[in-house]
Structure 1
Amino acid sequence: MHRTGVLLALLSAVLFGASTPLAKLLLGAVDPWMMAGLLYLGAGLGLGLMKAGHRLAGQPASEAPLQRADLPWLALVILAGGVLGPLLLMLGLSRTDAASASLLLNLESLATLAIAWVAFHENVDRRLLVGAGAILAGALVLSWQGGGQWGWGAPLIAGACLCWGIDNNLTRKLSAADPVQIALLKGVVAGSVNLGLALASGAPLPAPALLAAVLAVGFLGYGVSLVLFVLGLRHLGAARTGAYFALAPFVGALLAVGLLGEPLTVRLLLAGGLMAIGLWLHLTEQHEHEHDHLPLAHAHRHRHDAHHQHAHGPDDAPGEPHSHWHVHTPLRHRHPHYPDLHHRHRHDGAAAEADEPPAHPHG
């Protein structure tokens, strides 16, 4: 499951990383606020068509739907990650070259890790902290413009990363639910808000061909990427999924140099080297110890592995993987693990689950 989570997070990173230089390429003809709205609207519309296609094909649903208790968290996710994050990124991208902007997006993994550690008490070891320090050092190198000057582009992109760090940690609370439903709602609502605000400010809609290009970038770089990221959160937790997602800026920087012909400067190489060290430290982390699982009840997509040994009722979906409400009995064992849905325990010597068992959605 760890390898699955890593692969999902890395694929998410590749898609999002490619979207940054492509958005930079399109920004010359599209207003930044308009771009922010259209990217997320493309994500929502594309995922909506995909979900409708699955239903028409008669494919059974294997994911747990969002519950009423999830809606406040979803609203905060949409505000932070869907409305404010992309707007700040587009404003920063319009003031920064695409290669530097792509590498600065490493700050998202740093913000995600810091919030997961401080606010949500995920276990973060020395290796992750040293890697985070290397990433921060690289970001500072990119932000410095010489002569004692700091440009506005870097702080705006850093603000976007902070918004997405908040978003990633709040999305962790929703990661048991259907990731396509989460990304679809986020895309449609956030995209509509920014699109409406852009139109109200006088920004024109782009020509049809350009509009289609922006929507396509949004579908892959924000929609499909977000679905993969939510699945990664389910397996790895917020801090580590964010760490693997640090691959995204390198993908964007390489494409910016190759696709847009931007110069390969000493500053870019130095920052990239520092950030590569940080990413390597994150990717090579190992975590294994004996731990306890307290009783837990929830619904999510699962197979009958070591953590899912339960009886089925007559109304539960047949076949695997499937989704239904189930109860975990107490269990103590040792194996490599990360803060996924079933391993959010303390590391202070009392290996008890940190999260309270959620209430039944019908209770």
Structure 2
Amino acid sequence: MAESHSHSHLWPGVPLALGSAALFGAVSPFSKLILDSVSPLMLAGLLYLGAGLGLALFWLYRRSTGGDQTEASLHRADISWLAAAIAMGGIVGPVLLMSGLALTTASSAALLLNVEGLATMAIAWLVFHENVDRRLLLGAGAILAGAIVLSWAGQGIAVNAGALLVVGACLAWGIDNNLTRKISAADPVTIAMLKGLVAGTVNIGLAVVSGAVFPHAASLGAAAVVGFLGVGVSLVMFILALRHLGTARTGAYYSLAPFIGAFLAIVLVGEPLTLRLLVAGALMAYGLYLHLAERHAHEHDHEALEHEHSHVHDEHHQHTHDGPVTEPHSHWHRHKPMRHSHVHYPDLHHQHRH
């Protein structure tokens, strides 16, 4: 049975993923400016704590107005996934990135962050068996080629300590992204808020123990703003994108982040615009284009499924209610088996094998 969709299959997942990437891409160059007066470990903590506190204020405001009823709550089974995601993405990842930024240029670090998308896709494909087609693999290859060009130093690949630390951060975030996918049906604000509060507190504690001191008010405020927007709001958008696109494709679209970061590094930090940077950027842009141009459609089966998440009554949600409801809303609901064909991504309702 074929069905017509009134909206593009790119909406709202792709705009959410690209918006998240744009915000996160700004973190590296702005952090590079703040690192002049803050230790890497302390800055990692301040960024995440700023994200957690900012989202906590929004969470309290939303709760007071009843807006939290549109999202599903975290369940007991989600706690282990969330704890592991916080450890990898909120503690290991940012500490490695801030340490790497202290040893390399902001523009190089920004473009090397493309490795996160590759790591996310590889883990989703090889470990969690998410569908990845040739176009996505070719795009990933172009992005990897761009990263190699970026690291080329005439005689061979220049892999310094800073670059290795940035790549390590990307691997940690790749693991985090796949773990977060497991709980993406729950409220993204709550997930991102808890990540920020826990990771920020732990990292600041480690920084203080290691001898770091708190920065002056200007740097403290700057770190809080960068953390709220570049980590907190970005993470909320990323989790929402996971619902609609799946992990591999969200990670692929997220590859826009390094371009934003490299551009801002040139504008804000005054780093040179080199031919190597342009070639690397062109290769990575081509890889991103291949990901955006994907159109995945075929006849597929939906098995019976019961779960809870924010939704509207679209073609996949035809259940009834006892009284009037507002949309979107969240409640436990059941999907009946069905078979149809349309353009889709591996979202919450399309986990079938190929």
Bin the TM-score by the shorter chain. over 0.9
Residue in 2 that maps onto 1:284? 293
Quote the offset at 1:313 in angstroms: 5.1
1:47-62 aligned within 5 A:
47-62=55-70
Matches of 2:246 and 2:253 in 1, distance apart?
Answer: 11
Question: Alignment partner for residue 91 of structure 2, among 69, 83, 87?
Answer: 83
Quote the offset at 1:265 in angstroms: 1.0
Quote the offset at 1:186 in angstroms: 0.5
Matches of 1:140 and 1:90 in 2, distance apart?
Answer: 21
Matches of 1:96 and 1:110 in 2, distance apart?
Answer: 21
Matches of 2:155 and 2:332 in 1, distance apart?
Answer: 60
Matches of 1:299 and 1:287 in 2, distance apart?
Answer: 26
Quote the offset at 1:59 in angstroms: 3.4
Alignment coverage as a number of residue pairs: 345
Cα distance per residue 1:188-213 (max 9 Å; x no partner): 00111111000000001011121011
Partner secondary structure for residue 309 of structure 2: strand
Residue in 1 that maps onto 2:140? 132
Partner secondary structure for residue 309 of structure 1: coil
Matches of 1:237 and 1:168 in 2, distance apart?
Answer: 10
Question: Alignment partner for residue 124 of structure 2, among 106, 116, 127?
Answer: 116
Residue in 2 that maps onto 1:257? 266
Partner secondary structure for residue 298 of structure 1: strand
Unaligned runs of 5+ in 2: 1-8
Matches of 1:309 and 1:58 in 2, distance apart?
Answer: 25
Matches of 1:334 and 1:162 in 2, distance apart?
Answer: 35
1:319 aligns with 2:326: yes
Partner secondary structure for residue 3 of structure 1: coil
Residue in 2 that maps onto 1:350? none
TM-score calculated relative to the size of structure 2: 0.95
Partner secondary structure for residue 307 of structure 2: strand
Cα distance per residue 1:293-326 (max 9 Å; x no partner): 0000000000000100112357xx8211100000
Residue in 2 that maps onto 1:330? 337
**What is the one-letter code of the residue matched to 1:282?**
H
TM-score calculated relative to the size of structure 1: 0.93
Cα distance per residue 1:19-40 (max 9 Å; x no partner): 1100111111110000111111
Contact 1:143 1:151 in 2 (8 A): no
Residue in 2 that maps onto 1:231? 240
Unaligned runs of 5+ in 1: 348-363
Partner secondary structure for residue 308 of structure 1: coil
Question: Alignment partner for residue 108 of structure 2, among 84, 100, 112?
Answer: 100
Residue in 2 that maps onto 1:204? 213
Cα distance per residue 1:139-192 (max 9 Å; x no partner): 122223445542111111111010111011111111100000000000000111
Matches of 1:80 and 1:226 in 2, distance apart?
Answer: 14
Percent identity over the alignment is: 66
**What is the one-letter code of the residue matched to 1:342?**
H
**What is the one-letter code of the residue matched to 1:73?**
W
Matches of 1:299 and 1:137 in 2, distance apart?
Answer: 41
Partner secondary structure for residue 339 of structure 1: coil
Partner secondary structure for residue 344 of structure 1: coil
Cα distance per residue 1:231-258 (max 9 Å; x no partner): 0000000000111111111011111111
Residue in 2 that maps onto 1:63? 71
Matches of 2:140 and 2:328 in 1, distance apart?
Answer: 35
Matches of 2:66 and 2:326 in 1, distance apart?
Answer: 16
1:39 aligns with 2:31: no
**What is the one-letter code of the residue matched to 2:285?**
A
Root-mean-square deviation (Å)? 1.3
Matches of 2:308 and 2:197 in 1, distance apart?
Answer: 25
Residue in 2 that maps onto 1:73? 81
Contact 1:145 1:151 in 2 (8 A): no
Quote the offset at 1:60 in angstroms: 4.9
